[in-house]
Amino acid sequence: NAGVTQTPKFQVLKTGQSMTLQCAQDMNHEYMSWYRQDPGMGLRLIHYSVGAGITDQGEVPNGYNVSRSTTEDFPLRLLSAAPSQTSVYFCASSYGQSPSGANVLTFGAGSRLTVL
Amino acid sequence: GQNIDQPTEMTATEGAIVQINCTYQTSGFNGLFWYQQHAGEAPTFLSYNVLDGLEEKGRFSSFLSRSKGYSYLLLKELQMKDSASYLCAVRDSNYQLIWGAGTKLIIKP
């Protein structure tokens, strides 16, 4: 049981390049999400998905695309990288968003992206 | 707007007790979470409060007062491994998590 697996751990891009951050979970979680973490700020939600074929925007979606073709995978695509996208990215999953339980998020190890 | 406030940094001594406060103003309330994040690592779940009162889990306890928009995380018998950032998050009326910037806790011998 690997939990949430993110790749790559580190990436350096030039402005304008595109790339995909991979995220996979083996816990059969319905809910998956992408956050970015910047110094002095709380985690900010980029995009999320409540099940295969369903995605929605979070707080800071501009410049990012997602898709959810399977329950397990939730890749994040940077279309044309900008220096403002330099950050640490976390993928996180949970059983759902039901208000009846804690629905604890399980996070991947993080991907540190630098855009020059 | 929605806001979560926590102290930026705290220092405590090994073996002592420390209380990390969190105040929040959100659109609705569907639970409050505390996560621990060691430097360079992912956040991991510590506690969840949805009703007023104290939840105890070993050396860690978390308190919630919904009327005051206030929570605290209490860490007892501090160990060096407790040096980490502690993140407070509130689930709002849309069941989205609003995160504080985190409190960096430094433990000194």
pLDDT in tens, B68-104: 999 999 999 999 999 999 999 999 988 889 999 999 9
The two tokens of residue A82 are 């900008």
Taking the C-alpha atoms of residue B53 and residue B71, their distance in angstroms, rounded to an integer, is 9
Statement: residue A102 has pLDDT above 80: no
Residue A100 confidence (pLDDT) above 70: no
- pLDDT at residue A99, rounded to an integer: 47
Task: Round to whole Å and give the CA distance between B34 and A37.
Answer: 16
Nearest Cα residue to B61 out of B48, B70, B44: B48
Block residue for tokens 């700020």: A41
A4, A104, A106, best to mutate vs chain B, most B CBs in 10 Å: A104
Res. A103 pLDDT band, cuts 50 70 90 = confident
Q: Tell me, yes or no, if B69 comes closer than 8 A to chain A by beta carbon.
A: no
- Residue A67 and residue B72: Cα distance in Å, rounded? 37
- Among B8, B64, B99, most A C-beta atoms within 10 A, so best to mutate, is B99
Q: Give the per-residue pLDDT at A101.
A: 60
d(CA A24, CA A13): 22
Record: contact A97-B95, CB cut-off 8 A? yes
State whether residue A61 is helix, strand or coil: coil
Lowest-confidence segment of A35-39, A89-93, A102-106, B90-94 by average pLDDT: A102-106
